[in-house]
A and B are shown apart, each in its own frame.
Chain A
């Protein structure tokens, strides 16, 4: 086998690896994607869905940057819902059920059609390092590939152990082998590793379920989609179903507790508190009489369904018995049992803002290896690592998204500064500028920024510029145009909002909670403004006018905070020389090497007093 030279090698072809490989290749790097199995590219190991609260916003951001996740989801979804429509615009969250197999194969096709991208099926056993710098990888069958940088996206495969009751088997996913060697090598290089745990529910045969006994959850009547490009929205959809556990189910599950790997101490890793197993739920919240179960189809044609909310690692016989006590599941046949999986991760505090490791130059980590959970979180890290690996090779400035610019910025900033003790999932409450980080404006926030480095296409840029232009035109016109009582009062009455006694400017009315921009369509003064404009521009204008006060307040806050973000800290600064810092603070700062004072202020253990010390030391 020839020794091959690449700019970048991506290890692992999950959501992180695929986005990383695509981004770097599209930017012009020569990329090799190595996966243990070419048949499971972009596998949805957990539930067959993309998006949801906070996660949907991330998918939009990835799309705005020029990533593939949004497009692939649009091509493979079987149901779309905009969650939280009754809440404010910052909470609107797109979520789609996908056809699991279609999702994987569409990803593979998209990668196959990407220039500069090669594939290799093998297990990477070792990374090649010289003088604290990575220069390639060595595979299980002994081949060495050389490259300028390497991104590790190993997911749950590093020393993965699957637990079902007392049974234990090595594996990265059910039926797939685990990967060995990398953790040990990284630890010997000086990295700190840890253990995490996650779980998945049983899959059952849809033909064995009584759907009548469950509550149907349909997709949106007018389904939206993820990508800002011209992908198609769905014309037909599949439904999900909702049912509940009961005290009988709980009693049955308790029978298996003695064999639970969780309670017998077999599992050492930390699991996510917000995505507990069903046994954890009934244990910790004994007062709850029932827990919700979402029954999700796995694709257009398959009968396999995913029992969301019933993640468990109890013995399969107990799983089966308990499942059959759930309404609608009386005759349920299991395809495969739920299981828990333990795997190695590396505290993300060992990373720079670019996801490059502090320890080894040109080595990047992305996805679950950093202690995160979720396809969206993984894909977001992947695209950022891919972009930054490419930029570094080409000696360009790093590409950083601020906390006020995107959930991706919040995600990475949290990870590298705070680390994580449980699988990290994104929530809107993690973002201090939630009102700014909406799913409707990810393109406005990020597309131009990504276009500048050459990732987002000209077409994407033109599209968002047109959207911005039309939005501004509508807002300007709403401020200038008056409407008469005669023209508008009938409409106001029908919307149960007070009529107006004299002429009003349009923008004064749009701020009323009962009114939406499409209510003005057809009114003689407003119609010329709205006819012929894009739907997304109308929505954008409505949001910007309606929530102006809140948006402005957050912008002010973000600007205020920016001051700390702009005070740069030297990565080689000797914090030990500042005795006035607390001991913990000196250690944390020396280890984490924050790039800015703002970053330092978010490191746990660094107190406001410590920040004042740094502020004084580094000048104003």
Chain B
């Protein structure tokens, strides 16, 4: 239940209200009211058709009044009973997008008996009323926090239950597998066929492939949610912070001509053509750093490089030769990160260097100071679209799901190893049950009844 932190006292009898749109000035704002007294309260403050007498799923124009004073002209969207997001009576008030007006309306609602909703409380109610399963509820949380189109698409897919369905399909295959094993265990005395180990191995491989793909998709899913972790690395004064600022279009990192100004890492998220990048500016890497603080900064930079998805290695085209750049790169531990070589200050590079660079298609040439970074943006987008696993298929973007999938994978691999070692069925069954249990963690629970139901439906047993 971590997604609903902090845990509240769940009081479904309260009627709750909150601004559903973002804070700030906008054309319109939406205030959502939900709970048993929703209609009684709106009947009292809304001047127009009486909301409680209208059909569900209708929209009505009118005015919100505090006693005799009109607060705003609004549209009410009505959702009655269980046919609402939360599963309780709900009204959405579309009002003008002024923080002042919104606050006054909320104040009025509270005066009339509403309580301010806690963060996520509408979704909590939806979940507790069975309108959403756990992975759907988590998806809503993700959606609200989604910063980019890709993240939104993933969250939407998950909310529609696509992810849950894929997991359910995997689980039911595993249950079939488990019943075969259970059959030979519980009915070993009888004339039953033994589970064909080769077929079992094949099935495990198939499921492993699917879990692997889902686990792999986490990198992408996580990218969508948190941004594509992109480290900007390079020697001191290569222009890393200038590049970051150019990308951000604002002075974010401290930029100065003194080498080693950036002593810690600086992170900033930015959306480029619908993909979220998380740029991490790092301390320049030099091997003769003197101050302790700078050494720590360099250490962190090297760590960041290892754990990132993408490394942009920036070098000063006017002073560094391609050979020295190559030597520097060879010294770095890139981990799983992909590398883009970026030549900066190309406007100041010698002609000779310029033509050498031109021959290298893998090097992106920019001038950060002039904000001429278009080739880099193109390259980043190209990489991101390569990483995009496509719009079809599920993407795992939730750490809890990743854990469950990883545990499933562990259990299945243990089962494979067990089959290889000729381990007996009860121990194999243990690993498979574990896998089923962890998959169940994502969507729901599996009971041994499912196994037995399967057995009785399919096999002839019994003395």
Bound-complex Cα distance A441 to B134 (A): 39
Give every chain B residue within 8 A of A276 (Cβ-Cβ).
460, 462
Count A/B pairs, Cβ under 8 Å: 132
Bound-complex Cα distance A292 to B455 (A): 18
Number of chain B interface residues as a range: 35 or more
Proximity bits, A393-414, B CB within 8 Å = 1, else 0: 0000000000000000000000
How many residues does chain A have at the interface if contact means C-beta atoms less than 8 Å apart?
60
Given A275-B463, A609-B128, A616 and B425 contact (CB-CB distance below 8 Å): no
Flag whether A87 is at the interface (Cβ < 8 A).
Answer: yes
Which of the 9-residue segments A283-291, A317-325, A519-527 touches chain B? A283-291
Checking B186, B191, B451, B462 against A273 with a beta-carbon cut-off of 8 angstroms, the contacting residue is: B462
CB–CB B448/A429 < 8 A: yes
Give the nearest-CB partner of B190 in chain A.
A292
Given A90-B426, A613-B10, A429 and B462 contact (CB-CB distance below 8 Å): no
Q: In the complex, how many angstroms separate the beta carbon of A47 from the nearest chain B beta carbon? A: 8
CB–CB A616/B128 < 8 A: yes
CB–CB B185/A53 < 8 A: yes
CB–CB B1/A83 < 8 A: no
CB–CB A582/B130 < 8 A: yes
Give every chain A residue within 8 A of B460 (Cβ-Cβ).
276, 281, 284-285, 288, 291
Checking A54, A86, A90, A602 against B447 with a beta-carbon cut-off of 8 angstroms, the contacting residue is: A602
CB–CB B130/A291 < 8 A: no
Give the nearest-CB partner of A602 in chain B.
B447
Flag whether B430 is at the interface (Cβ < 8 A).
Answer: yes
Give every chain A residue within 8 A of B7 (Cβ-Cβ).
616, 620
Q: In the complex, how many angstroms separate the beta carbon of B99 from the nearest chain A beta carbon? A: 32
Checking B133, B426, B462 against A272 with a beta-carbon cut-off of 8 angstroms, the contacting residue is: B462
CB–CB A580/B125 < 8 A: yes
Give every chain A residue within 8 A of B61 (Cβ-Cβ).
none
Give every chain A residue within 8 A of B190 (Cβ-Cβ).
292
Proximity bits, A602-620, B CB within 8 Å = 1, else 0: 1010011110110111001
CB–CB A291/B426 < 8 A: no
Bound-complex Cα distance A23 to B461 (A): 35
Proximity bits, A223-234, B CB within 8 Å = 1, else 0: 000000000000
Bound-complex Cα distance A226 to B444 (A): 40
Given A274-B456, A580-B129, A609-B133, A430 and B1 contact (CB-CB distance below 8 Å): no
CB–CB B448/A608 < 8 A: no
Bound-complex Cα distance A232 to B12 (A): 64
Checking A47, A428, A608 against B186 with a beta-carbon cut-off of 8 angstroms, the contacting residue is: A428
Given A292-B190, A620-B7, A430 and B130 contact (CB-CB distance below 8 Å): no
Give the nearest-CB partner of A311 in chain B.
B463
Flag whether B427 is at the interface (Cβ < 8 A).
Answer: yes
Flag whether A434 is at the interface (Cβ < 8 A).
Answer: yes
Which of the 9-residue segments B105-113, B162-170, B389-397, B416-424 touches chain A? B416-424
Given A87-B188, A427-B452, A602-B447, A580 and B462 contact (CB-CB distance below 8 Å): no
A278-320 CB contacts (< 8 Å) to partner B: 281, 284-285, 288, 290-292, 294, 308-309, 311
Bound-complex Cα distance A337 to B12 (A): 63
CB–CB B188/A91 < 8 A: yes
Known: A87-B424, A88-B427. 18 other contacts (CB 8 A): A53-B189, A87-B426, A88-B425, A273-B456, A275-B462, A285-B460, A291-B191, A294-B463, A309-B463, A428-B182, A428-B426, A432-B433, A434-B426, A513-B423, A613-B10, A613-B128, A616-B8, A617-B10
Report which B residues bind A (CB closer than 8 A).
Answer: 1, 7-8, 10, 12, 87, 125, 127-130, 133-134, 182, 185-191, 421-427, 429-430, 433-434, 437, 444-445, 447-449, 451-452, 455-456, 460-463
